[in-house]
Amino acid sequence: MSDETLKLRDGRRVVLRSSRRGDGPAVHAYIKALGESTENILTYPDDTPGLEPIVQRIELIESGRFYSLVAMDPDTGQVAGNTSYTIGARKKLAHSAELGMGVLPAWQRVGLGAMMLNRSIEDMRANPNIHRLSLTVLDGNDHALKMYQKAGFELEGRRVRSVRQPDGTYADEIVMGMWIGE
């Protein structure tokens, strides 16, 4: 996957590229900041993964079991956004990739999320082993849901009260999928 410089709607630029060895600390800082900024992801602010699991996932990219696209701020070297897919580890699930993504608040609403999503779908389509993409989005996260529908994901179902928020309330996850095989 080649590096690509994107110009955002507000004129700022980011470099879009695959995560590499050495990115662990920048990805870790991004996940922590995203978890602190929103309840729309599954990470509690005080429950972010440590550096080691992030480094291990980046190492899985070479074996084809993980995909991670980062948008880097070229001025600071910080991660502005990330789109990742976890590829099924079992043989019966190895054609299927589960999406997770986010853009930090300072970089939202200038087109980065939609551009990263579309680029990642193109990359998945180019992978002959992957035939299905899936994701979950929390009920009420309507702009994310619309962004996924615009990119081609379809509604498949709902996991009722599958998420417990920090204030003790429960939320449903909406399940979405896209067939990219023949």
Ligand X SMILES: CC(C)(COP(=O)(O)OP(=O)(O)OC[C@H]1O[C@@H](n2cnc3c(N)ncnc32)[C@H](O)[C@@H]1OP(=O)(O)O)[C@@H](O)C(=O)NCCC(=O)NCCS
Task: Name the residues that contact ligand X, by CB under 6 A.
Answer: 38, 40-41, 101-103, 108-114, 137, 141, 143-144, 147, 150
Q: Would you say 29 or 59 has its CB closer to ligand X?
A: 29
CA distance linking residue 24 with residue 10, whole number of Å = 28
Residue 107 burial (C-beta neighbours within 10 Å; 0-12, 13-18, 19+): buried
The DSSP secondary structure of 1-60, one letter per residue, reads ---EEEE-TTS-EEEEEE--TT-HHHHHHHHHHHHHH-SSSS--TT----HHHHHHHHHH
Cβ at position 103, least distance to ligand X in Å: 4
Cβ at position 10, least distance to ligand X in Å: 10
Cβ at position 4, least distance to ligand X in Å: 16
- DSSP 8-state secondary structure symbol assigned to residue 142: H
> Is-contact 153 176, C-beta < 8 A?
yes
Q: Would you say 109 or 161 has its CB closer to ligand X?
A: 109
Q: Would you say 61 or 151 has its CB closer to ligand X?
A: 151
Cβ at position 145, least distance to ligand X in Å: 8
Q: Would you say 55 or 151 has its CB closer to ligand X?
A: 151
